[in-house]
Structure 1
């Protein structure tokens, strides 16, 4: 790590360059959260390291390839951190993009960055050059950690392009050879083995600064990036673990992308902060999942998307595997069909709980001892006594009565107070007193005197494909670059497995050849769109319907595609 040039402000100093664009908590709220013990005055890496010391001999991480105790895992993480400090040009306060899958190297690298005072940016390996470029420039990231053997092996070539474009200057390659000025994961570990880890930068961090960047959505124009601060992000994970009664002896199996807010805050950090064991599935494929259930006997699956629950039911082998160890089976991502919940109960003997959460913070979950009216029809209640929820009228000023539909607005000790460097977004997304306007339509339901919440739609133009959010405006902007397209609208169409998929309504130039799903996909991939965001149906239309205020009437388009799907024969 180079010395800070003379005359410059260190990036990690209070008010330094790395904190500009951060909307933080009011001093009164900070004092309240610390006085009540929700916030501890300690940083995230300090809390993780303390937990690792306490549980040194317990199993921390299991993958199909390795099993590591807390001592083994954090020794690797400290070596990785020391390697970053010694062998790269990264400073504490720098941001590093992640394009990694569910492998042990991802966990080590994430923890190593925290210990080195470097901020992980939780991007996905499916993101392309364009998306990584936009996000890196927005958060000021100079580094990239990639898994060379992920997917079709495209990530090294993408990294070369990012380096050639001057977007990224430091690259670490895991599970593959180095190229150009890139360093390998193994080389960093070797460097770190001979460095004294007692003076790693995390010892001098401030708990009120940014620990991690989480992507909320959008990589066209101004991204929406959630800056997660040390104390609040730690509390988010601890509150989740406390709600689920995790501790030494808990075995949690996580099958979704770990470098995602859900993976970090409902899987990785809650486990490692409480002495539990995290079993990391390499994919969400049912055969691999069943293999790990048989091998590790987990008692918790803390986040299962409805699509995965449906596939579990459809897999005949599920009826042959002993699932009795699973006491906590939490479904989230979008609303679970009642039929699916009942079949999980009747066919596999699984009692589901439902969850709602967001990169911005707030988590809700149904209690383990609640009846089916609550577990099957709501997403429960907040995980912290300090969480605040308002269900607001469309005017954004008044609250609706219990049972009425309104916008879910939230505030609390782990919900951000503003997106990073995004004044325009923040003006629309947050109330004057700091409540985040989620854009989700919700109801407060009173059952046996207790308040629970259901999510019954949304205001935002977002497609929930499984657990991934697709922002329609981002895809539409790229579709409009197609030489044959005059106008375009992307809307959600219902899907029994993923919940929703994207359908593109296109207005074409006269005599233009109609694009297919495949040809439109090829075009959009060429524009740098991630594969999971591609439209999965194309509808041609003479003109897009407009509302009475001149906006595209997407409600009419959603109704149109729903009717067409309902009329088509089921395969």
Structure 2
């Protein structure tokens, strides 16, 4: 096995170029307190797999795998990957796969091979994958050929011909050109000794996984999740929720996303729980799996999904009594929806807050509705630290006052990958991450908890996906008929927010429509979910008193227009 049993050429994680490590004294404190244990993430996962070998680890509509079988496949994939490709420990590999068993096997296999998964989405276009791959130095791509309309193999050919990646692994479809079949890697790796896999020799201070946070324009924001802290993140979540043998967690959102990894996959596998992976978030699929698998927890439900669940008549006919923990996150759940879930479906909600950079908060199950409906609770680790600061300052605000949420702790990153200039602004001198979220600290029922009350950053929360306005605006400005643009959030009952593009057109240009602008942006390589869903043409954009585009004025304008359109004529 040419690539097996070798240490990563990158050496110690603290010395990797572009990585901001935890200070040595802080890391020592976390280890002394037992939050970190000096072991790699795949070592922790393998230990749990041995302990729970005969338990069911993964259920999809197509198959069920025990811990023993799941990790046997992952080890075979890891060995085949190192034997049949040019990839080495320390390399990074992009993922463009949906919620299928092969995704979980490939992800675990990469970890055991010492190869770093880059958690991109299958909806990302060629441009976005190219920018991210170059930023993290990714050499490989693993794709699901039958995802969506089957466009990913063509995208992969373009990425290979453009010199973006060297190796492509294909599952659920024919292999093309120099690509390698997923099934062939499993076959090749089956005959090899898993004891030779390099994951045991990796430095736990190295990057285990790259998580995408933010847009891909100019400088990508990539959160480097390190072995020890990422494992602790999952263990803290599982412990806070009381997961273990007997826990059945149903996850309907993209698994190759920080939320999917950190609130579902890792905590389930590290605690001996069973993960039910839904291929989509359609209500029909969700209800089918609830009936078939009787999950007792759904660890992340976006408000949009909760709304659709309420609207579907079949929800009232389905036995939902197995669900004891229904955790809503992604954005604030309207009070009316929380109350209707309780009254109509008998579902008692909890709310959570989380981010690719680290910090998780969740409301306790036995808290009052004032806490569960109006806050996101408290951090999951006793070592988590929170400051609420006046925006653009280091001055703390009083309890109950709005300020910027700033966080630090044993699973919150100390800096984005290869982003020195951005890190200087995004982190305080003491290592607190400035989230850009507006928050308040409350003391309710003798409990300190937090609410999220908006954001400073220019981000549109479309369901669970975040659309960074500057990325879309940059591409819109390439259109020859556009003189200026501002993309803002408009309210939406189902998704929470959608994007509205305010356009200033060149003199004499014909108006652009949602369809024509969308076609242009798709041709530029933008993911479909990021396309503006309304277009407003204006003679000029409103400016603030410091000469910046006054987006609040535009957000208020589109909100008023939508309200007027819903009001029947007198």
Pair in the same fold by TM > 0.5 = yes
1:432 and 2:429 equivalent? yes
Cα pair 2:14 2:205 within 8 Å, conserved = no
- Structure 2: runs of 5 or more not aligned: none
Residues 297-352 of structure 1, C-alpha deviations (whole Å, 9 max, x = no match):
00000000000000000000000000000000000010000000000000000000
Whether the 8 Å contact between 2:60 and 2:278 is mirrored in structure 1 is yes
Conserved 8 A contact 1:2-1:91:
no
SS in 2 for 1:548: coil
SS for the counterpart of 2:358 is coil
Q: Which residue of 1 aligns with 2:203?
A: 206
Partner of 2:263: 266
Give the Cα separation in 1 of the matches to 2:423 and 2:14. 21
Mapped to 1, the partners of 2:379 and 2:243 lie a distance apart of 17
- Is residue 438–residue 456 contact of structure 2 (8 Å, CA) maintained in 1? yes
Structure 2 counterpart of 1:42: 39
Alignment match of 1:340 (pick from 331, 337, 340) = 337
2:301 counterpart of 1:304:
yes
Report Cα offsets for 1:192-214 as digits up to 9, x if no partner: 01111111010210111100000
2:11 to 10, 13, 38: 13
SS in structure 1 at match of 2:336: helix
1:9-158 mapped onto 2 (5 Å cutoff) = 11-14=9-12, 19-158=16-155
Match of 2:171 in 1: 174
Partner SS state of residue 264, structure 1: helix
1:244-263 to 2 correspondences below 5 Å: 244-263=241-260
2:534 is matched with: 537
Separation in structure 1 between the aligned mates of residue 179 and residue 188 of structure 2, nearest angstrom: 15
**Long gaps (5+) in structure 1:** none
Aligned partner of 2:236 in structure 1 is: 239
Aligned 8 A contact 2:82 2:113 in 1: yes
Matched, 1:478 2:475: yes
Deviations 1:106-132 (A, max 9, x none): 000000000000000000000000000
Partner of 2:382: 385
Aligned match for 2:513, one of 516, 540, 551: 516
Give the counterpart of 1:419 among 403, 416, 430: 416
Deviation at 1:570?
6.3
> Which of 282, 286, 297 is the aligned partner of 1:285?
282
Q: How far is 1:569 from its partner?
A: 2.1
Q: Is the 8 A contact 2:3 2:83 kept in 1?
A: no
TM-score (structure 2 length as normaliser):
0.98
Whether the aligned pair in 2 keeps the contact of 1:12 and 1:205 (CA below 8 Å) is no
CA contact (8 A) 1:11 1:94 kept: no
| Native 8 Å contact 2:12 2:205 kept in 1 | no
Q: Using the alignment, how far apart are the partners of 2:173 and 2:567 within structure 1?
A: 44
Aligned CA distance change for structure 1 residues 16 and 402 (closer, same or farther; 3 Å): closer
Tell me the matched-pair count: 567
Q: RMSD of the TM alignment (CA)? A: 1.4
Residue 221 (structure 1) aligns with: 218
Contact 2:8 2:202 in 1 (8 A): no
Contact 2:491–2:497 at 8 Å: present in 1 too?
yes
1:161–1:16 CA distance, 2 compared to 1 (3 A): farther
1:505-543 residue CA offsets vs partner (Å, 9 max, x unmatched): 000011111010011000000001000000000011100
Q: Which SS does the other structure have where 2:559 is aligned?
A: helix
Please give the alpha-carbon distance, in whole angstroms, between the structure 1 residues aligned to 2:310 and 2:398.
38
Whole-Å Cα distance in 2 between the matches of residues 58 and 42 of structure 1? Answer: 24
- Quote the residue 1:329 is aligned against: 326
Cα deviation, residue 448, structure 1: 1.7
Q: Distance in 1 between matches of 2:392 and 2:324?
A: 42
Question: Which residue in 2 is equivalent to 1:547?
Answer: 544
